[in-house]
Amino acid sequence: MLDTGACVTIITKDLWTELGEPTLRPVHGQIVAFGNSQLAFLGVCKANVTWNGESNAVDMHVFDKCDDNLLGRDLIRTFKMNVGELYDNPQRICAVKSSDLEKILAKYDDVFKPDIGKCVKAQATLKFKGEPKPKFLKARSVPYAVKAKVEADLQGKIDEGILKPVEYSEWATPLVVVPKKDGKVRICAGFKVTVNPQLEIDQYPLPRPEELFQASNGGKQFSKLDLKEAYLQLPLDEQSKKYMTINTHKRLLQYQSIPFGVASAPAIFQRVMETMLQGLEGVIVYLDDITITAPNAEEHLQRLEEVLKRLQDYGFRVKKEKCEFLRDRVEFLGHTVCNKRISTSPTKVEAMLKMPAPKDLKEVESFLGMVQYYAKFIPQLASMAVPLNALRKKEAKFVWKKEQEDAFQQIRAKLADTKTLTHYDPKELGASFVATLSPLPVYLANGSSSPPSSVNIPGPAPKRQRHQDRHHQEHSSNHHSSSTPRCSNSAAETAGSSGSAAPAQRRQTGQRPRGQPRADRPTRPARLERWISGEMRRLFEEMREMRTTVEALASRTPSEAGTSSAPKPANPTVADDAEKPTLHNSEKAL
């Protein structure tokens, strides 16, 4: 039943069972019924709903004490239903079973196994600038509080074949232990002091985040896959393994796959992932993150199945608890991406807003680096950050003054009030431009039965042509004035022999001495902003004039169009007020 008074969509437990019992998520916040009585839901699930040929994933609140299924305002907004309209042939609205997703996930169950996978179709090869010089460093001590966790993690990697004990090695890199948020530890190595300085860094380009965000434009549903210990799933060739030996407090261990911390690892892994997923539309990959999008649920499931198939063929494993399926929005590269829109990540922004004021230069640079990642959401960020950037100058001393504090608070306030941006869509931009400057009324007003093959709208001359025209005008002006007698300037002639006469003369005449900046001269950003504003105003004026002319032509009858047979001038401007275009000679002006 369609209920415009319900803020959410509510389904019975029986319908949830009929849909295949999709995964339930906890309900955030409180939902009350009439009379302020709180409702206790079993949870929220995602289900595909099809209406009028359009499919969308909608959140369904499962309630075991409900007799009817209530389709609330969230579903009405999703499908943009006109509730007040009457229909001759009403259709029954029903939920589409979401068991198709469960079938796909069950079909490729190997991809979600808990062990670390091993790529069977590619290997990582390390290349060096010259003949590598072995470097052996002693093992670092491990804090007693995490020693048991480190030893357990190392033994687990040995059992899975990622690490292999060795008795002797010319290479040895010290162990680095990084704590995780969940209390576990991540085993890394300090390759920046042993292997990385000698590596020939792989230059395979990583995609720019802006390009990836643009690739998600138009998708209505998103799925996100996260590979488990991604780099460790890519094996090393035999020649490269000896360079990946680490020195632990127990023994020497040799990596059998490429570890985190190797300078060439990101480029090598990105190449393998793009090779694996090439040719798939709506699939975005950045290292170990794979995002899938599609305009509807059917195409989305097809693309998701193809991605899982290729992951299974290559032997990769995915961490299921970090995956998301058929979501309206996902977190991707520190941004929230949804249909045609992109915004900042709430968790990232919240962490930045909780940062205290910087106490040294390193903290200033850290804050500016994080803010710069969201620069496109913060207008005039460069101007606001001037006091903070002043502390980064070579001779500057770190003194946190009021101007720095004001700039810091102003940037944080702007960051908290960031807006949602839309993706660039050339189709919408082109349609808007054609609608504004459509040439179709021109041939209709002229009585023609077919549109013209081309419409020439005069525009600004090329830069070279403008330079030639300006040079021609100056040459004509000089030629015209060459016949007039030229007055000699004694002060100027004296300045030619004396270097101090010219500045003295400029002071006497009130002119600004050379080398001294003008006091009233605006700053470069202000001049640039003024120039852009002027160019935009000029462009809008030209567009308004052309649109007025086209509308005037469209209002003419064919008989009126035939009365004007004068040739069309190249320049649409009118120099004399007496010859301003009327309804009958507007074609001549165009």
pLDDT digits 0-9 by tens, 543-573: 888 888 887 777 765 555 554 444 444 444 4
Contact criterion met (CB below 8 Å) for 215 and 284: yes
229: left (phi over 0), alpha (psi -120 to 50) or beta: left
Of residues 313 and 346, the one with the higher pLDDT is 313
Range with the largest mean pLDDT of 259-268, 426-435, 448-457, 521-530: 259-268
Distance CA 248, CA 269 (A): 26
- Where do the domains of the chain lie? 10-97, 144-339, 342-421, 425-449+524-590
Domain spanning 144-339, CATH class = alpha beta
Cα(11)–Cα(64) distance, integer angstroms: 8
Q: Is the pLDDT score of 484 beyond 50?
A: no
Strand order in the sheet with 335-338: 329-332, 335-338, 341-344, 421-422
Q: Which two tokens stand for residue 471?
A: 């040079």
pLDDT of residue 92: 39
pLDDT greater than 50 at residue 435: no
Q: How confident is residue 211, by pLDDT bands cut at 50, 70 and 90?
A: confident
Q: Cα dihedral angle (66, 69, 75, 81), rounded to 10 degrees?
A: -130
CB neighbours (10 Å) of residue 140? Answer: 13
Which of these ranges, 46-50, 331-335, 387-391, 452-456, has the smallest mean pLDDT?
452-456
Per-residue pLDDT at 389 exceeds 60: yes
Give this prediction's pTM.
0.57
Per-residue confidence (pLDDT) for residue 38, from 0 to 100: 58
Asked whether 224 and 323 are in contact (CB, 8 A), the reply is: yes
- 273-278 long-range contacts (CB < 8 A, ≥24 apart) are 275/122, 276/121, 276/310, 276/311, 276/314, 277/307, 277/310
When pLDDT is cut at 50, 70 and 90, the band that residue 515 belongs to is low
Instruction: Name every residue whose Cβ is closer than 8 Å to that of residue 308 and which is 6 or more positions away in sequence.
Output: 104, 105, 107, 108, 111
| Distance in angstroms (rounded) separating the CA atoms of residues 95 and 51 | 9
Q: Which CATH number fits domain 342-421: 3.40.50.1000, 1.20.120.160, 1.20.58.340, 3.30.70.270?
A: 3.30.70.270
Q: What one-letter code names the amino acid at 92?
A: R
Higher-scoring residue by pLDDT: 58, 570: 58
Cα distances (angstroms) measured from residue 550 to each of 398, 457, 544, 563: 62, 11, 10, 17
Average pLDDT, the chain: 75
Amino acid letter, residue 62: V
The predicted structure's pLDDT at residue 258? 94
Buried b (16+ CB within 10 A) or exposed e, 429-451: eeeeeeeeeebeebbebbeeeee
Q: Which residue would you say has higher pLDDT here, 388 or 27?
A: 388
CA distance 474 to 42: 83
Given this chain, do its domains 144-339 and 342-421 carry the same CATH topology? yes
